[in-house]
Structure 1
Amino acid sequence: MTSLRGTFWRELFRYQIAHSPQSSSITDMRQSLDRLGQRVQPPKSVRVERTWVEGLQAAWFIPARAADDAVLLYLHGGGYSVGSLASHRGLVGNLAAACGLRTLMPEYRLAPENPFPAALEDALSVYRRLLADGIAPQRLVLGGESAGGGLTLATLLALRDRGLPLPAAAFALSPWTDLAATGDSLRTRARQDPWFKPEGVPIAAAYYVGNAAPTNPLISPLYGDLAGLPSLLIHVGDYEILLDDSTRLAAKARAAGVDVTLRVWEGMWHVFQTLAARVPEARRSVDEVGAWVQSRLVTAERREEGRKG
């Protein structure tokens, strides 16, 4: 049963979206998301340090007592066309604190100015830099939400196919895994979703896809061979038009032999974890992600010790 706070915020968002002027300007949408994101601040226990990585603006989110040798590489969402450190500092700070990990979030290049494969190449470049800086792959975790969740999965596929070391684990919150927009939930959840309309998905996808095929697995991981990927955690709300992007991906990964944990949250919307300070389901989701990440790091470390021993 959905909490009263969860229901309140979901319906408030629905009302605000329905009664707000909708802009088609990418610049306006970026500024709007930045303003919205600035209402949610990182925990005071998390230090934020701006930096540059591989030519990209980025930030480290550093919880108190975080180990120096383990890193969460976080890839933000926003349909590949919006999203920044300003819009995501609250969400990423909460995840960093829950995971107990130094967390690096780069501002990868955005579409439509930089369509596929720009975001993917940026993610790979930052990942390689972490390896070059001495972070062992078994001490690395990838994560992201929405488009960043899809980009996380695409990055795993690219790492595997290029023969690069895979991280210990990866998580995705409401991942966008099918830019061809074939999921039944686009229809079955259209009335429940407080944020998105089905007709907007192909428009958003076109910005990133450009001249490529939307079924390219590095754009839409749902269409890829998922065998050999590390442990995956997926959280999604059951009031999302993108629900099937998570459930189908999880089923396909499981069939390929991947260790997958799928959590579908009743009555929750797209990336509800942004309200971890206000909605109990969001707080529990973030805490579950943190506990899962820590358990997978322990498992990866033991596996590495066994391999060496």
Structure 2
Amino acid sequence: MGTSGAGVPRSASLRAQLAAVASVAGLRQVNGLLPANRAGIWAGRGLIAGVMAAFGPTLPGTSVVQVEVGGLRGEWVRAAGVEHGEQAIYYIHGSGYVVCSARTHRGLASRLSKATGLPVFLIDYRLAPEHRFPAAAEDVAAGYRWLLEKGYRAADLVIGGDSAGGHLALDLLLHNDRTGIDQPAGAFMFSPLIDLTLTLAEQQDRRRPDPMAPASAGRRLVRLYTRGQPADSPRLRLEIPPGAALPPLFVQAGAEEMLSDDARRLRGMADAAGVRCELELWPGRIHVFQALPLLVPEAGPALRRAAEFVRSALAEAQIRERVS
């Protein structure tokens, strides 16, 4: 599959370029200095929550319904005018496994809901360092099972995720494949983290500093989740086996951001395994720019393309069911 489409611009907007330059001088420096202790984690969580709220606020009129069932936590997010129906998006937020939450991604979820006309269930998985591997992965799998138990058919669900949420989304799809659980209609990922050693990210970061954080800072966060686990653990070093029964994938990343090579690696693994995967590399350097529409104008068009994938994946799943 190609790395761009007719709707992907050739160059980043001036606002996006200026935001990247300013962020390298500001946010990157702060994130690089935060220590991986309780105070540093608290500060990092507050900093990212502030950035998300300022540049990707929740749309007016959005309905938010909290869910807490046993150990499962999350929230239903519906843009104004969107009703619950037979189809939905299951969204897994990023965080480096440490700093974000369903609340920080509520704005992104509201825009996804508006663009697709679907309710979005945001899983609020447990974070490190309070909860290490495999807590987040277990919560993500439990959220998917809960949706199926609530009456959603797998073919009526599309999974989404960003950054570490992309890793968790792929882990869920591979887990479904191993255990025979029905796969969703498709999965889309924004700036997915695939290489948890951040070796690929470090190489990209050396070529051009990432505006959000140094690769070393990302590695410190991930280690809070993976500490004590071997680097080659199959649940951490994900591989798509040949012939894996995975649904179609749709991946977007900034062409020059730290995780751009991770996105390329995911597409390469999918191609080798015979899994459909469309990769869009958008010009620019902002990580998960789709969540920051007031900072990066490209966020809106990119979300609309993701919404097109969601609609197409759901329609194709219905066709497959009718002919099977």
**TM-score calculated relative to the size of structure 1:** 0.92
Report the aligned-residue RMSD.
Answer: 1.8
Structure 2 counterpart of 1:82: 99
* Rounded Cα–Cα distance in structure 1 between residues aligned with 2:252 and 2:29: 29
Structure 2 counterpart of 1:4: 14
Encode CA deviations 1:73-98: one digit per residue, 9 max, x unaligned.
10110100111133111112112221
More divergent stretch after superposition (42-51 vs 259-268) = 42-51
* Rounded Cα–Cα distance in structure 2 between residues aligned with 1:224 and 1:259: 12
Letter in 2 for 1:266: P
Question: SS where residue 58 of structure 1 aligns?
Answer: strand
* Rounded Cα–Cα distance in structure 1 between residues aligned with 2:46 and 2:72: 19
Structure 2 counterpart of 1:60: 76
| Contact 1:168 1:296 (C-alpha < 8 Å) held by counterparts | yes
Cα distance, 1:28 vs. partner?
1.8
* 1:23-62 equivalence runs, <5 A: 23-24=34-35, 25-39=40-54, 40-62=56-78
Compared CA separation, residues 62 and 54, structure 1 to 2 (3 A): farther
Cα distance, 1:66 vs. partner?
4.0
Compared CA separation, residues 198 and 159, structure 1 to 2 (3 A): same
* Rounded Cα–Cα distance in structure 1 between residues aligned with 2:143 and 2:219: 29
Letter in 1 for 2:21: E
Letter in 1 for 2:71: G
Letter in 2 for 1:43: L
Identity rate of aligned residues, in percent?
34
Question: SS where residue 41 of structure 1 aligns?
Answer: coil
Compared CA separation, residues 204 and 258, structure 1 to 2 (3 A): same
More divergent stretch after superposition (151-160 vs 91-100) = 91-100
Name which of 283, 292, 305 aligns with 1:275.
292
* Rounded Cα–Cα distance in structure 1 between residues aligned with 2:180 and 2:235: 15
Encode CA deviations 1:252-307: one digit per residue, 9 max, x unaligned.
11111101000001123211111224433111111100111111100101111222
Structure 2 counterpart of 1:233: 250
Structure 1 counterpart of 2:159: 142
Encode CA deviations 1:19-71: one digit per residue, 9 max, x unaligned.
64732221221122222222232222532222224423321111324451111
Letter in 2 for 1:150: H
For structure 2, the residue ranges without an aligned partner over 5 or more in a row are: 1-10
1:16 aligns with 2:20: no
Question: SS where residue 199 of structure 1 aligns?
Answer: helix
Runs of 4+ in 1 over 6 A off after TM superposition: none
| Contact 1:116 1:219 (C-alpha < 8 Å) held by counterparts | no
* Rounded Cα–Cα distance in structure 2 between residues aligned with 1:85 and 1:114: 16
Give the structure, 1 or 2, with the largest relative contact order (CA under 8 Å, sep 6 or more).
2
| Contact 1:108 1:122 (C-alpha < 8 Å) held by counterparts | yes
Question: SS where residue 246 of structure 2 aligns?
Answer: coil
Letter in 2 for 1:11: V
* 1:89-168 equivalence runs, <5 A: 89-168=106-185
1:207 aligns with 2:207: no
Question: SS where residue 78 of structure 2 aligns?
Answer: strand
* Rounded Cα–Cα distance in structure 1 between residues aligned with 2:69 and 2:116: 22
| Contact 1:53 1:126 (C-alpha < 8 Å) held by counterparts | no
Compared CA separation, residues 19 and 143, structure 1 to 2 (3 A): closer
Letter in 1 for 2:144: Y
| Contact 1:33 1:83 (C-alpha < 8 Å) held by counterparts | yes
| Contact 1:238 1:265 (C-alpha < 8 Å) held by counterparts | yes
Compared CA separation, residues 58 and 145, structure 1 to 2 (3 A): same
Compared CA separation, residues 224 and 302, structure 1 to 2 (3 A): closer
For structure 1, the residue ranges without an aligned partner over 5 or more in a row are: none
Letter in 2 for 1:282: A
More divergent stretch after superposition (166-175 vs 44-53) = 44-53
